[in-house]
Amino acid sequence: MYKIMVVDDHPIVRNGLVNVIETKQNMKVVACAANGAEALKLVKDTKKNPPDLILLDILMPKMNGIEFIKTAKTVSKIVILSTEIDRYTVMNMLNLEINGYILKDEAPNNILRFIEKVLENDDYVALSNEVLAEIKKNKSKRQLNLTETQVRIMQMISSGQTNREISQELFITERTVKAYLTKIYTLLQVSNRAQAIAVAIKNELI
C-alpha cells in the first residue's frame, strides 16, 4: 500500500484529492496539511515511517512549496500539483529534484496515472502535457554539445518515458540507456534526471 501526503491550502482541493487518490486500492492518504509549515511538522513526526509520495502545492501561506522542499529534506518522492505554468517555475522546481510537475486542471484519472507511475518507477519524472507545451515554446536549436541521440533521449525523458520505454523505442538495452544518461549528466554537470530536464529547459533544448 502506497502512503500519500497531500499538501494544499484549499480544503476543497485537499478533500477532492483524498477522494480521488483513495479510489485506488493500492494508495492511501495518510496525512494532509494546509501549508508547508504543517507539512514539515508531519514529515518530522513520520520520519521513521515516511509517506511514499508528497503531493505538494507551490503557493501557500506560512511556508510555500519551495521553502518546504528546501527545508524538509525528505526521502519521500515529491510531485508538484499547481496552477503555475511558466517554464522558469518548472525549471526551478526540477532543480530541486522533484519527481513531477502537473497541473490542477488535469483530469482526475490523469493525476492518478501520473502519481502511480512516479510511485512505480524511480526513473520517471511526471510532466503533464500543458507543462510540456509551455516549456517547449520558442524552442531553439541549441544542443549543449550533445549528440543527436543524446538530444533525443533528453526529449524522451522530458516526455516522461522510463529507461525501459526508451530502450524499447531505440532498440537498445536498458544498460545502454543508463550509460547514455550518465554521459548526459556529466556533460550537463547535473546528478539526476530532473536536473537534466531543468538544464534542457534553461537552454531551450526541449
Angstrom distance (rounded) from CA 150 to CA 170? 12
pTM of the predicted model as reported, rounded to 2 decimal places: 0.76
Residue 12 main-chain phi, psi, to 5 deg? -65, -35
Interacting residues of 76 by C-beta distance below 8 A, sequence separation 6+: 5, 43, 50, 51, 52, 53, 54
- The full set of domains in the chain, from first to last, is 2-134 (3.40.50.2300), 138-202 (1.10.10.10)
Q: How would you write the pLDDT of the chain (206 residues) with one tens digit per residue?
A: 999 999 999 999 999 999 999 999 999 999 999 999 999 999 888 888 899 999 999 888 888 888 898 888 888 999 999 987 777 788 888 888 899 999 988 899 999 999 999 999 888 889 888 887 776 665 554 556 788 888 889 888 888 889 999 999 988 889 989 888 988 888 888 888 888 888 887 777 77
- Work out the end-to-end distance of the chain between its first and last CA atoms, rounded to an integer number of angstroms: 35
